[in-house]
Amino acid sequence: MQNSKQASGVFVLPKFTLELSTEAIRLLFDLHGQPCVIGDVTPSSRHLDHQMAALLGLAARLSKPPIVTTIVVPREHVLYKTLYVDLTVDLSEHQIVDYICGVTELTKDAICVDWVVVGSAVHIAAVEKLTLLEAGEFAKRHGFVTDVFTSHALTGQFPRQPVFNDPRTLKRPSFMPRQQHPRQYQDGQ
């Protein structure tokens, strides 16, 4: 299967998803709107590099490289919060980020947020940029190109899949390796 072309003349790349978790790394392909599993690998495998290369090879049989992917970060690395607000008050992203910074004790430069207002409820999803950066570096190291980051929210936590900005604007200095595991949140809370 090759890249398809819409009637407008715009090329549409096939859509791949790389789901990351501590149990498995799964590559999926969007086949007519339905996710189709291409393959799974175990992150702790001694042959991870070889297995990821095999996944990339399978993807390359479905699409011309580059293999553009959506990366799904583990749910436990995303904080989900719901606030109830006065409908007459206009909320800004600055206020949402300030709230999350207060809850997590992280700085605004260290987090990415997505938020949706439904009635008087403000649904917020937040993740550390460092988590996104590491996920993107992992994908790149194995030949995948990241187009967007998301996560799978539990039912009721977020009205849709959250979408997080590209963290490439956050560069980790080489002298500053991660000192601890990424923050994890119990059931996203």
What percentage of the chain has pLDDT greater than the value 70?
79
CB-count exposure of residue 143 (10 Å: 0-12, 13-18, 19+): middle
Helix intervals (H) in the chain? 48-62, 93-104, 129-141
Domain chopping of the chain, boundaries: 16-164
Distance between CA atoms of 99 and 83, rounded to whole angstroms?
10
pLDDT of the residue at 86: 83
* Per-chain mean pLDDT for the chain: 83
Residue with tokens 């969007």: 30
Span 5-25, pLDDT tens digits: 333 444 444 589 999 999 999
In this prediction, residue 28 has a pLDDT band, given cuts at 50, 70 and 90, of very high
pLDDT of the residue at 32: 86
Span 95-135, pLDDT tens digits: 999 999 999 999 999 999 999 999 889 999 999 999 999 99
- Name the token pair of 103: 């809850």
pLDDT of the residue at 85: 87
68-92 average pLDDT score: 89
User: What's the CATH code, domain 16-164?
Assistant: 3.30.420.380
Instruction: Quote the pTM value.
Output: 0.78
Whether the CA torsion 85, 88, 89, 92 is positive or negative: it is positive
